[in-house]
Amino acid sequence: MLELNGLHAGLRFSSAHIVFGHPTCGVIHGHSYYVDVKLYGERAGKFKFVCDFKIIKKIVKEICDKLDHKLILPKNHEKVYYELRDKTLYFKYENKEYCIPVEDIILLPIPSTTAEDLAVYFANEIADRLKNLGFSNINWIEVSINEGIGQGACYRKYLEVK
């Protein structure tokens, strides 16, 4: 098994989000997130690695960079209405309306932007990228999304091993 500690390996991003409907987290606020990753699989290739640290770090760093300094919004939220108005995204949740420049936003294919759903998003993205690079030795990927130090949500995605 291979393990990356996001705090020490520099796998971080600072972003804003909204947990729509939550009494305290339902307003726009931010976190300094860091991402821990575990890969479990058979050691393979010339160096008998589960996966070269360089490769998995680059993958996770690229995903972090996509989210960094953006307002993260959930494309699949069942109660948020979105409308693109030129270079501005209008969105509405119950009686709250927002207009934010599109360049300030990243819209992710998840139902909410809780740490739980961000962990699912990261695990799916990492799985896709490893698959595209030809990896077939990974049994599972575990991602912890930490909203600051000491609290995080973890998700484990099982992969098909050939």
Task: Tell me if residue 25 is catalytic.
Answer: yes
Site residues, Zn ion (CB under 5 A): 25
Question: Which residue lies nearer to Zn ion by CB, 20 or 135?
Answer: 20
Q: Is 9 helix (H, G, I), strand (E, B) or coil?
A: helix
147 in catalytic set: yes
Instruction: State in angstroms the smallest separation of the CB of 127 from Zn ion.
Output: 25
Candidates 69, 94, 97, 99; catalytic one: 69
Tell me whether residue 116 or residue 142 sits nearer to Zn ion (CB atom).
Answer: 116
CB of 25 to Zn ion, least distance (A): 5
Residue 25 or 107: the one with the smaller Cβ distance to Zn ion is 25
CA dist 88 and 101 (Å) reads 4
Burial 73-110 (b: 16+ CB within 10 A, else e): bbeebeebeeeeeeeebebeeeeeebeeeeeebbbbeb
**CA-wise closest residue to 91 among 81, 100, 78:** 81
Task: Count CB neighbours of 152 within 10 A.
Answer: 20
- State the nearest-atom distance from the C-beta of 4 to Zn ion, in Å: 23
Residues with catalytic function: 25, 69, 147
